[in-house]
Amino acid sequence: MRFLKNRAVLITILLFFVSLQLYSLNLREKSGQNFISQVVLTVTYYPQKIIYIVSDKVMTTWQDYMDLVNVRQENIRLHEDIQKLRVEKFELAEDGIQNQRLKKLLDFKEIPSYPIVSANVIGGSPSLLRSEVIIVDRGSHDGISQGMPVASSEGIVGRVLTVGDRSSEVLLITDPISAVDAFIHRTRVRGIVKGTGSGCVMEYIEQNSDVSKGDKVISSGKEGFFPKGVIIGTVSDIETKGNFLSAQVSPFVDLDSLEEVVIILKTNNNIVLNE
Amino acid sequence: MNKYLSIIFLVLLSVVFITIQTTLLSPHNLNYYYPDLNLILIVFLAIFSEVRGGFFLTLGNGYMMDVLSGNLPGTFTISRLSAYLLVRSGSNHVYLRKALVQGLVIFLATIFTWIFILTIIKIKKGDIGDITAKYILIQGIVNALFGIPIFWMIHRINARFQK
């Protein structure tokens, strides 16, 4: 220890170069699971879960109290909503019948559905350097494996990065190393949706393509990673980048306030990363 | 026996700190204003040289940061180990017993670790996201403010095990 203490600056410089080399071994080359990482995830799972349960109870109690305050106005508003939903339900039933009829006419193949596992978000990254990571309370014990897609009721959330016994890390689609093959719902124009840290950008869109603000972006399923047709977000801005168009995409899911997600039990070795 | 109790206490504290940092006080909740409890603990281990097993505890703490922040390959482990060694090299200085100096050391350790990490990412043309000089300074101040009472608390509890 005295040796280390007397040569701290020299060792720091050495460590800097070691770190530089380690950084080169990027995530793409990472294969399989690291045992020590699994141990860390397992050790931190139980205290994280306790904090999650306690804070959830406190928040639920507070929310119940707040709900009681405006219950009368809420009741009136809900009655109005029910009326609107009854009309919508009727219209949807009509559309459904028409949809089935058209599918038969086109000999349409059903999109395969996958089993899902619901999970609670019990933590997030401890650093801003890669803050686009969340921790969920499902792990290999629940059949989760690395690379599985994660979604919420509103759309794509990300994919499983590291799996512990009872918890897993999920890389959000807004992380700079995330990439999803996608297309514009309205015109079927294809591109790659990459994370930017604070949002997403759809790149490699052919220059003369029909893309406009407000268009919905959905997963293409082409890379075999995310299922086809899951919504990613909405185009908020478009610019030209070299020979391609680049569209800013606002994720549909509010990734800052995620509480529950579903993990799609779909495995694929072809992990798509933006590195 | 007391030596082992002290190490067990510090291991448990490491797990508690990283848990708090990934839940209640995570950057996800507090954005720029989160205290880096993990780094504060490492600086404590470096300043109070009588604490046993500081080197290995620092390694473990750095590794936990790497795993829980998306498995950046060794970035936190090595940057925090470097900060530990640098602070440790001057740990017998009498001024390090003063709270204000300890706060300053935490501030400087925060700046050092960020410069260490961001230099590597910049050299490798990686993405540093929204991290700016302003953010690093804010984090240094937040860490120093949180660090002083945390140091006082850990030192008092740890001293009981040392007796």
Q: How many domains does chain B have?
A: 1
Contact A139, A41 (CB under 8 A): yes
Residue-wise pLDDT for B82-111, tens only, equals 999 999 887 777 777 788 999 999 999 999
Which ipTM value was assigned to this complex? 0.81
Whole-structure pTM over 0.95, yes or no?
A: no
Residue-wise pLDDT for A50-61, tens only, equals 998 998 889 888
pLDDT at A249 over 60: yes
Query: Which pLDDT score is estimated for B112?
Result: 94
Q: How far apart are CA B150 and CA B152, in angstroms?
A: 5
Query: Which pLDDT score is estimated for A271?
Result: 46
Asked if the Cβ–Cβ distance from B15 to A20 is below 8 Å, we say no
Q: How far apart are CA A187 and CA A214, in angstroms?
A: 12
Query: Which pLDDT score is estimated for A99?
Result: 80
Asked if the Cβ–Cβ distance from B69 to A161 is below 8 Å, we say no
Query: Which pLDDT score is estimated for A273?
Result: 45
Q: Which of B81, B85, B110, B125 to mutate to test the interface with A (most CBs of A within 10 A)?
A: B85
CB nearest A125 (choices: B68, B86, B127): B68
SS3 of residue A221 by DSSP: coil
Q: How far apart are CA A160 and CA A151, in angstroms?
A: 11
Q: How many angstroms separate the CA of residue A248 from the nearest CA in chain B?
A: 16
**Whole domain around residue B132: which residue ranges?**
2-162
CB atoms under 10 Å from CB of A75, counted, come to 9
Q: What is the CATH number of the domain that holds B49?
A: 1.10.1760
Q: How far apart are CA A180 and CA A29, in angstroms?
A: 19
Residues in B touching A258 (Cβ below 8 Å)? none
Which is higher by pLDDT, B96 or B120? B120
Mean pLDDT of all residues in A111-116: 72
- Contacts of B155 by beta carbon, 8 Å cutoff, 6+ apart: B44, B48
Q: Which of A1, A19, A35 to mutate to test the interface with B (most CBs of B within 10 A)?
A: A19
Q: Which of A129, A136, A165 to mutate to test the interface with B (most CBs of B within 10 A)?
A: A129
Structure tokens at A103: 């599918």
CB atoms under 10 Å from CB of B153, counted, come to 12
Residues in B touching A175 (Cβ below 8 Å)? 70
Structure tokens at A227: 């299922």
Q: How many angstroms separate the CA of residue B27 from the nearest CA in chain A?
A: 6
Residues in A touching B116 (Cβ below 8 Å)? 16, 19
Contact B120, A25 (CB under 8 A): no
Residue-wise pLDDT for A199-210, tens only, equals 899 998 888 888
* Mean pLDDT (chain A, rounded): 82
- Return the H-helix or E-strand segment holding B163: none
